[in-house]
Amino acid sequence: MGLWRELGDERGIARGLSDLATIAAAVEDFETATELFAESADRFRELDEPNRLAIVLANLGHVATEQGDYRRSIEVTEEALAIQRRLGHKPNQAISLFNLGSSCLRAGETAQSLAWLQECVALTFDLGYKEVMAYALASVVRIRLLEDDPHGAAHLAGVADGLLADAGVSLQSGEQALFEDAELAARERLGDDAYAADHHEGESADLRAALIQSGVLEETPAPR
């Protein structure tokens, strides 16, 4: 950092700030990470480097979520998403859509959360991006419970579990805990047998059909 500042290398400074922020976030020094990511974002904005700016903004949004500042998370992630759309970076868009849905859900904005998550599911379905789709569906499970639809929650939980098993991955610890709490709540409301039947139906169904049945994917004509 010192050398880049002496040389007046603005790109080097911006990248260095982002790298230091990533390290700070990894050790959960979120206050420092926020300051460094914010300065890095300002510099990349001035340098007119949208690709790097979007990356930094997405990271800034993640840190804001970890701090419980969901308003800030939504604001900067929306900016990141707008850039990603302009650049055509669809895999990155999928992650930002999930993050927006998750932050809105945590902020109590259920309708907006569902809209972001449905868009995420549609995009990840087209991309075959099963891991991120599973994250989105796990969040929709929580929304279905808020909507007083335990059968829908159990069915979607089965779809999400099937995707995770197929991709050979698991949710990160925080999301996994929320998902397991939602699954337990649905099981308690339905009873073991009814929950297992709904879950199995979702887990074993054709993915497209299951998503349409669950109301998270619009029914469109199948490609010829």
Q: Is the dihedral of CA 145, 128, 130, 76 positive or negative?
A: negative
Residues 58 and 99 sit within 8 Å (Cβ to Cβ)? yes
Q: Give the model's pLDDT for residue 221.
A: 43
- Give me the pLDDT at residue 96, please: 97
Domain segments of the chain: what residues? 1-88, 110-218
Fold of the domain built from segment(s) 1-88: 1.25.40
> CB–CB of 42/78 below 8 Å?
no
Q: Which residue has the tokens 């790109």?
A: 11
Q: Which two tokens stand for residue 28?
A: 């959960």
* Sequence-distant (≥ 6) Cβ neighbours of residue 93 within 8 angstroms: 81, 84, 85, 123
DSSP-assigned states of every residue in 94-131: HHHHHHHHHHHHHTT-HHHHHHHHHHHHHHHHHHT-HH
Q: What is the pLDDT along the chain (224 residues), one digit of tens a residue?
A: 554 455 557 888 899 999 999 999 999 999 999 999 999 999 999 999 999 999 999 999 999 999 999 999 999 999 999 999 999 999 999 999 999 999 999 999 999 999 999 999 999 999 999 999 999 999 999 999 999 999 999 999 999 999 999 988 999 888 999 999 999 999 999 999 999 999 999 999 999 999 998 899 987 644 43
Q: Which residue has the tokens 């914010």?
A: 38
DSSP state letter for 205: S
* 56 token code pair: 């930094």
Backbone angles phi, psi at 44, to 5 degrees: -65, -30
Q: Does this model's pTM top 0.75?
A: yes
